[in-house]
Amino acid sequence: MLEQIENVNGYESLFVMDNRHPCILVGMDGVIAEANLLFTNKFILGKNDNFLSLLKSSGISSWNDFKKGCVETKVGMFDNLVMTSVGNIEFLCKTHIFYSSETKQAVLTFVLPALCTDLPLTAYAQCFTHASNLKVIVNDEGYIVDVNNKISDVFNLTRSAVIGKRIQTLYRKFNTQKRNAEAQYATHLNTLKTYGEVKVTERFESEPNTIQFLEIHATYNSDSNLYFVDIQDCTEVEMLRRQLDHSGSLSTVGQMAASIAHEIRNPMTTLKGFVQLMEVTATGDTAKYLSVVDDELKRMEAILNEMLMLSKPSEEKISEFSLGVLITKVLEIMKPKAMFESIQIDWHDASFCNSMIHSNADKIKQVLLNIFKNAFEAMEPGGILTLKLEKDEGTSFTLSVRDTGKGMSPLQIKNIFMPFFTSKPEGTGLGLPFVLKTMEDLGGAVAVSSEANKGTTFTLAFPRHYLESCTISENYTAN
């Protein structure tokens, strides 16, 4: 640096020669005599401004210490000078100083950290191309100008197949009904033009029965007349949100159930008392009619009991028991119904003494009764109910319950755990919501798959406490 200045006529030449770093020529009072373009662009200061305004107190102290020794021409350096650039962004800067005793001025060359230097356009292009989210650039006429590599992961399309097409080409993938897609697109575009940005979540079915939720965030830049669209996969977040909504609906149902039960049980108790009194002396048709009334009152009471299972907090009786043994006991309860309806139960358990879990046996028993009862009602005489209990590699047991009934439609599968949803003429729609709530409360999970005219399979996952014990194989069949 010293040799460079000694070989030129005037300090102004320095600013022409050194285009790699911001550079200034200053007096000892800090007033700038000359500044190169890099310095001016970075700090928005120029000739006759004081560069000390960029320094914090520690930097000013370092500058004052340097001035004290300025009797002869000398070279110095500040290792960590704190500079403040545009937007009040602070960073550490290495600074080379050459002081001339002849002119009483100093040349300062600032070596900026890599973070603060101007990046080449190719660096920004690489960030766009390899971004983790799908990014799309659209012109003001609605045509896609560019898109990054994520297009292949999200829509299974190539960049060349998309660039030059209208943005509606992608938007229609969220809605199979063209008219609805166009209407929604027009609404979102109007919002975008009005407010400068729009954020929506859309449902996307990449493959049959494979659902994704994508968050679309679009912004408009008036300087370039371009729309910037960021598309992010938010399937997991959306699923969690829907589970919370569903839990909220179950909570609401519970509150409703408690209040309804309170209002109905009082008059129902009175009715039952009078019916029982009248049955003592009733004869003929009157006795027959009272019997029907009594049966209907019992049915109302059963419905109230199911609703209360969803509402009132029951005592948690946690104990250690064999899941395999509990399943067998529940099947014994169902055996008369199976024989009466000619339904075969195929129960294979290869882990009887090993299927020990810590849980609430009463609640799990009720869960199993609900699942088995639904399976029986779905099958015609001669149907087969197949049960299989397996150990997962993790910390749970999995019980699959498969029937050979009529199966369910996709709409039914989607709604079976919603309160009051039922396809049975006399159903309450509360059995499966109870199953789901109970399993989730116990730390387990429920899954269902079905095929029309072939049957339905419920899969229950039970957290377990494994104990080393004997292994017993058992087949249980009821005809």
Span 240-296, pLDDT tens digits: 777 677 666 666 666 666 677 767 777 888 888 888 888 888 888 888 888 888 878
Burial track 332-355 (b if 16+ CB lie within 10 A, e otherwise): eebeeebeeeebbbebebbbbebb
Predicted pLDDT at 148: 92
pLDDT tens, position by position, 450-464: 888 889 999 998 886
What ranges in 112-234 are assigned the alpha helix state H? 121-129, 151-155, 159-162, 168-171, 178-195
What's the predicted TM-score (pTM) here? 0.40
Rounded Cα gap, residues 420 and 434, in angstroms? 11
Predicted pLDDT at 87: 64
pLDDT tens, position by position, 330-376: 888 888 888 888 889 888 765 555 778 888 888 888 889 889 988 88
Positions of the chain with pLDDT lower than 70, given as ranges: 1-19, 86-87, 114-119, 172, 174-182, 206-210, 243, 246-258, 262, 302-303, 305-316, 349-353, 393-395, 419-429, 464-479
Report whether 52 contacts 63 (CB < 8 A): yes
